[in-house]
Chains A and B, each alone.
Chain A
């Protein structure tokens, strides 16, 4: 019966040969059930596309347009230097992603809208999670960071939102390309003007995976990603902010733990899931310079040397 209705649908839609049509018309003549089915299918020939085209849908949100454009730009930038950041996922061409989403979709609704797009109004995450940042809103040109709220450290929220989307699988397969990493660090130091090094956190069980040059409101934002032995990746994000040093402070941004500090005009945010690695302890070691450097120390690269 199931095949019949599919065949009858093809008949109604004029997709059968003349011969097949004759067969079906014979059947219709003798079977009221078939005749009724054909009548139903004919009645279902409706202007669906036209009807849905008139559906009053909300327009594509600007935040989404900007987020997708930013993602596409970031991706295009990455693929022009293939290698280190190319996730080596091996799935069939048309296999849909099978990894379950652990959390609600709504975890990071505006992550990219806030991140990496110049001139976007910051979203309402108050200073409560970052005292000290922006406490002197008029003292620095970086106050332009916060379009909606002069005290808002938008980049930390953006970076944390971005990091929320990372699963273990996102970076687990990424091979570390020492040469490209060294080159990226060189660009960060010389083109972006950020004296950033890549700390070796292997003693804390974290494997360095990659470094990316992102932008927040047209300013360089460095993201260094590590993979712990278990659980979601951890990121160390760095931005230049010409403000006084601060000691480490731990905050929660959405579902992420964020530990921040500022040293030598660089603001750091160590971002990870609440469970697992002791982020404050790790942040203290990084800020105390109690770790070795993988990349960025006057051309010495431990990984490259290996």
Chain B
């Protein structure tokens, strides 16, 4: 893969860039602008894309840094999950899912990740959701691989604590959770 292939690859990468942008920005208008801007930046820098580099992580890196720049420009980096478009945090019932509880758990997983501190949330999105390796995530975020791992372990401790509690109070949580079909 070299930069000259980027134009032909971008359209097929688009759905994943779109969902990543939606998830990090939490706003569909921001996400659309973010992806456009990132694609433009990517194309302008296509010649810097080294053979052997994953185009997807390279584009994730540009989406992410574009978003960080944007947040800096807006001087409001402490976006909390309460500002999110609630509709985006819901999951739809999967016909393959066996039980309503499974849907409820999916909802809870998405919500739990959404409530992590920003740096941990992005690492979880890259590694657990997008399936990047630790080193790819480190390249995307421009941090050492050790930082990725420690953020990930902290994120997972938080989520583990949450779900440990859930396991103890299964019935209660299942009743309290949002109806995923609504």
Mark A residues whose CB is within 8 Å of B: 2-3, 5-6, 8-9, 37, 39-44, 46-52, 54-58, 60-61, 63-65, 67-69, 71-73, 75-76, 79, 86-87, 89, 91-109, 111-112, 165, 170
Contacts and interface: CB of A to CB of B under 8 A. Distances in A.
A50 B69 contact: no
Contacts of A67: 36, 39
B100 interface: no
Q: Interface residues of B toward A: which range?
A: 35 or more
Contact of B157 (A5, A65, A109): A5
B139 interface: yes
A112 B36 contact: yes
B28 to A, nearest CB: 5
Contact of B73 (A60, A69, A75, A100): A100
A39 B164 contact: yes
Nearest to A50: B106
Given A94-B50, A103-B73, A109-B29, 15 more contacts: A6-B146, A39-B160, A43-B160, A43-B164, A44-B163, A48-B124, A48-B128, A52-B129, A56-B88, A60-B15, A67-B36, A68-B11, A97-B45, A97-B62, A101-B70
B91 interface: yes
Interface of B: 4, 6-8, 10-11, 14-15, 18-19, 22-23, 28-30, 32-37, 39-41, 43-50, 53, 58, 61-62, 64-66, 69-70, 72-74, 87-94, 97, 103, 105-107, 109-110, 113, 124-125, 128-129, 131, 139, 142, 146, 149-150, 152-157, 159-161, 163-164, 167
Nearest to A73: B7
A81 B10 CA distance: 20
Nearest to A64: B32
A55 B88 contact: yes
Nearest to A89: B45
7 contacts: A44-B159, A48-B128, A79-B46, A96-B61, A97-B66, A100-B69, A106-B33
A107 B39 CA distance: 16
Given A5-B157, A44-B160, A68 B14 contact: yes
Given A39-B164, A40-B160, A104-B70, A72 B33 contact: no
A105 B103 contact: no
B165 to A, nearest CB: 9
A223 to B, nearest CB: 15
Give the top 6 A-B pairs by smallest Cβ distance, nearest first: A96-B65, A40-B160, A44-B160, A44-B156, A72-B7, A51-B109
Given A72-B11, A109-B29, A54 B103 contact: yes
